[in-house]
Chains A and B, each alone.
Chain A
Amino acid sequence: MDSVIANGQPVAAELPCSLEKFLVAQKLLPRSVVVEHNGEAVAPSEFPQRQIRAGDRLEIVKIVAGG
């Protein structure tokens, strides 16, 4: 299976696919993460259209609320 580099680690996924689909497959809540795709900011409303391919770099940050 192909893989992307997410937060510096290779992650296997069915590629290409939408960013939204990738996040759901990783058991992440797409509305509760911030994503940078190949060094570019991606707004949450773009997740369903944004295609990711083998070898792409993703930075993914989960929401936290503590203070």
Chain B
Amino acid sequence: MELNNEEIRRYSRHLILPEVGLAGQKKIKATSVLCIGAGGLGSPIQMYLAAAGIGKIGIVDFDTVDYSNLQRQILHTDADVGRPKAESAKETIRGINPNCEVVIHNTRITSENALDLIRPYDIVVDGTDNFPTRYLTNDACVLLKKPNVYGSIFRFDGQASVFAPHLGGPCYRCLYPEPPPPGMVPSCAEGGVLGVLPGIIGCIQATEILKLAIGKGTSLIGRLLLFNALDLKFRELKLRKDPACPICGEQPTIKELIDYETFCGIVPEPENLGNPDEVTVQDMKKALDNPSLNIKVIDVREPDEYEIAKVAGVPLLPLSQLNERFTELDPNQQYYLHCKAGVRSLKALNFLKQQGFKYVKSVKGGITAWSDEIDRNVPRY
């Protein structure tokens, strides 16, 4: 692996670092990295890896760019909204460094394709946004003995580590052997995230990849680095390999990839049958337009969200206050509950049913569906 004159100029600030040098830069060029996710974390990871001279970057992402991504996903621009993220990412990376080979996989990583996707690469970086993909990425990396450079974010908090049982460290399952029940841990779409947070955590992941490539420094193997942006504090937890780990422990029970959606308790909803507890935004409109139906619509989101977007004539009763305030409601009255996307309203419905409410329905898709299908003047957030 040689560097041409243009590359020597480009990487000069690396070449004069004794820890990198010509030998290290050649190692960086010889390294291939598969990035799972081209979103918040994937953005700084891919941009800095390309700039630093990583020879080959693979990108797996099935999603398209949405306006709500642009606050943090700096791989994508305003003009990219609606385009596949993998394509937009490739364009940005090639703009930064045309020497970088970019392979895009405009597909969802699954138990069927994960091993084939990961096998050709030296290092895997986890920039996904959900539990099933994180467990899948972990298990595939353990089985293929690939380092898995981990990062995750929520609101103002981030975590990073390097999982590599084949190098003596723990894996993701040594920390978190089982996923939390669905709905227990909110996503960034539900809870929000500070725009620069993935920038900070993603840059830490990129740093660890470059260190693995050149074989220098002390990696995050066996350590969980934690960052809080509000306090601007870093702290660190020691990790250990769990001898009882189901995949990298002494007697592993997982020897091949499993069904990760089922493992994470995500039950696919039959498309046409629907949920008898749910109504559509069209039903909600009928209820609001026809007071004679005597159906009351209640918004169970939080006050901050109500301020951003609301449906006229729908009062607020936040899910977080329902426990204390449900007595304000009439258990024999018919209610339609809505939230942002239909998850929290189902939680509220289940709670009210336990309290003896008989006629409660949840509005499928929430105010987001209302904005898409009924009234475009209601902002999507």
Interface residues of A (CB under 8 A from B): 29, 31-32, 34, 36, 39-45, 59, 61-67
Contact = CB atoms under 8 A, between A and B. Distances in A.
B151 A67 contact: yes
Contacts of A63: 152, 175-176, 180, 185
Contacts of A67: 37, 39-42, 126-129, 151-153, 188, 198
Given A34-B175, A34-B224, A65 B237 contact: no
Nearest to A8: B235
Contact of B238 (A39, A45, A62, A64): A39
Interface string B184-200: 11011001010000100
B306 interface: no
B8 interface: no
A59 B237 contact: yes
Q: What is the interface of chain B mostly: helix, strand, loop, or mixed? A: loop
B208 interface: no
A66 B188 contact: yes
Contacts of A36: 237-238
Contacts of B188: 66-67
B157 interface: yes
Contacts of B364: none
A59 B239 CA distance: 12
B27 interface: no
Contacts of B129: 65-67
B88 interface: no
B257 to A, nearest CB: 19
Contact of B177 (A44, A59, A61): A44
Residue among A41, A63, A67 with max Cβ neighbours from chain B (10 Å): A67
Given A34-B175, A39-B238, A59-B237, A64 B153 contact: yes
Contact of A41 (B153, B180, B193, B238): B238
Contacts of B245: 43, 45
Contact of B130 (A44, A61, A65): A65
Residue among B126, B154, B193 with max Cβ neighbours from chain A (10 Å): B154
B376 interface: no
B342 interface: no
Contact of B159 (A40, A44, A64): A64
B127 A34 contact: no
**6 nearest A-B residue pairs (beta carbon):** A45-B244, A43-B242, A64-B154, A66-B188, A41-B238, A41-B240
Residue among B128, B151, B222, B238 with max Cβ neighbours from chain A (10 Å): B238
